[in-house]
A and B are shown apart, each in its own frame.
Chain A
């Protein structure tokens, strides 16, 4: 009975879209950064599956279609990059330099602090892509032998913390340039950071979107490179 009712594709797709819409509604109503739609959605679905004693495998099977959409949505970011390129003429070199440095520092810092904590390699690999937008982060984690689910969680942590505290930290450090604000928020906190940057200003928001794309590319390059260099040491 339970299997016929719940363990099928139409139900799982309804569950994901429904709880996501509810998450968005709560987030917009409350305006609390911590009540992120994804977090709410996760809590609803995990509690439902646990309560009804439905195995994760049948959820995975039923929600495959939504999982597949990750790939096309990353490809679609190409249009975002194209649209925002006009905002950055004349600053291209500084933008690429700073985001590339940020990507390498992001990966390196995870490895160094992770080793200090004696974390297993599989977990360190899972944390490396944390600053990148989730679709890219999840596939990077899978390619390099991490746990995509753990990666997804750290991406959410980066997004929420950066969006909530980022602007305050930046102004404390004397960052005034709109490009620097948008770029750093997008690089450290992907979509969530960009959404916050859009609230600050139009340039900040547009640069944030651009930053997501560049950070994705730079981190894709930085992970194999830093890991290779670490092996030499």
Chain B
């Protein structure tokens, strides 16, 4: 358990350092996630050492952003005048994301299958 906590904190720290040196282009935690993923894949980190801690963290993720969402209280004055635009933009943009991802993925998948089929036909 402690080993897992140490590894996660270490990767967060390394990620923060990487974030600092790349001029805040990506959050340190995202760098940490990528580094941890690469380390797991290459065997530098044993998945069993982090599994327990990582599961607790990802399962309760929703709670960790409660403090940030309460910040709404402090910035309500700025938001209140624009709430309709904010909700509409969020919904429209979200719709465009879900449709573009699903359509491109399905299209590419089926053309992939066709190519594979052609290959087996030739063989």
Smallest beta-carbon distance A25→chain B, Å:
13
Chain B residue numbers with a CB within 8 Å of A91 are 109, 112
Which residues between 77 and 127 of chain A lie within 8 Å of chain B, taking CB atoms?
77-83, 85, 90-91, 93-95, 97-99, 101-103, 105-106, 109-110, 113-114, 117, 119, 122-123, 127
With a cutoff of 8 Å between Cβ atoms, the chain B residues found around residue A97 in the complex are 104, 108
Interface size on B, residues (CB 8 A): 73
Select from chain A the residue with minimum beta-carbon distance to B14.
A75
Number of residue pairs spanning A and B whose beta carbons lie under 8 angstroms apart: 320
Q: Which of B5-51 contact A (CB under 8 A)?
A: 8-9, 11-12, 15, 24-30, 32-37, 40-41, 47, 50-51
Tell me the minimal C-beta distance from B45 to chain A in angstroms.
9
Is the CB–CB distance between B104 and A98 below 8 Å?
yes
Residue among B15, B74, B90, B110 having the largest count of chain A Cβ atoms under 10 Å: B90
Would A69 and B57 count as touching, CB distance under 8 A? yes
Closest to A79 in B: B54
Tell me, rounded to whole Å, the shortest Cβ–Cβ distance linking A175 to chain B.
Answer: 5
Which chain B positions have C-beta within 8 A of A85? 41
Q: Is the Cβ of A76 less than 8 Å from the Cβ of B54?
A: yes
**B93 CB to nearest chain A CB (Å):** 4
Say yes or no: B70 contacts A66, CB within 8 Å: no
A187 pairs with B29, CB closer than 8 A: no
Q: Is B58 an interface residue (CB 8 A)?
A: yes
Cβ-based interface call for A206 (8 A): no
B residues in contact with A119, CB < 8 Å: 82, 85-86, 89
* From A50, A98, A138, contact of B100 by CB (8 A): A98
- With a 10 A CB-CB cut-off, give which of A50, A175, A191, A221 has the most chain B CB atoms: A175
Q: Say yes or no: is A9 at the interface (Cβ < 8 Å to chain B).
A: no
Tell me if A3 counts as interface (CB < 8 A to partner B). no
What chain B residues lie within 8 Å of A38 (beta carbons)?
62, 65-66, 69
Contact of A113 among B50, B69, B92, B102 (CB under 8 A): B92
Could you list some 30 contacts between A and B, CB below 8 A?
A: A63-B70, A69-B57, A70-B65, A75-B12, A78-B37, A78-B54, A80-B54, A81-B33, A90-B112, A97-B108, A110-B89, A117-B82, A117-B85, A119-B89, A123-B86, A131-B97, A134-B62, A135-B61, A139-B29, A149-B70, A152-B69, A152-B71, A162-B98, A166-B98, A169-B95, A169-B99, A183-B105, A184-B98, A216-B30, A220-B30
Binding site for B on A (CB under 8 A): 16-17, 19-20, 37-38, 41-42, 45-46, 49-50, 56, 59-60, 63-64, 66-67, 69-83, 85, 90-91, 93-95, 97-99, 101-103, 105-106, 109-110, 113-114, 117, 119, 122-123, 127, 130-131, 133-136, 138-140, 143, 147-150, 152-158, 161-162, 166, 169-170, 173, 175-177, 179-181, 183-185, 187-189, 191, 211, 213, 216-217, 220-221, 224
Q: Beyond the given A72-B8, A74-B29, please list 8 additional residue pairs across the A-B interface where CB-CB is below 8 A.
A: A42-B66, A42-B69, A67-B67, A79-B54, A80-B58, A134-B64, A180-B103, A188-B94
- B residues at A contact (CB < 8 Å): 8-9, 11-12, 15, 24-30, 32-37, 40-41, 47, 50-51, 53-55, 57-58, 60-75, 78-79, 82, 85-106, 108-110, 112
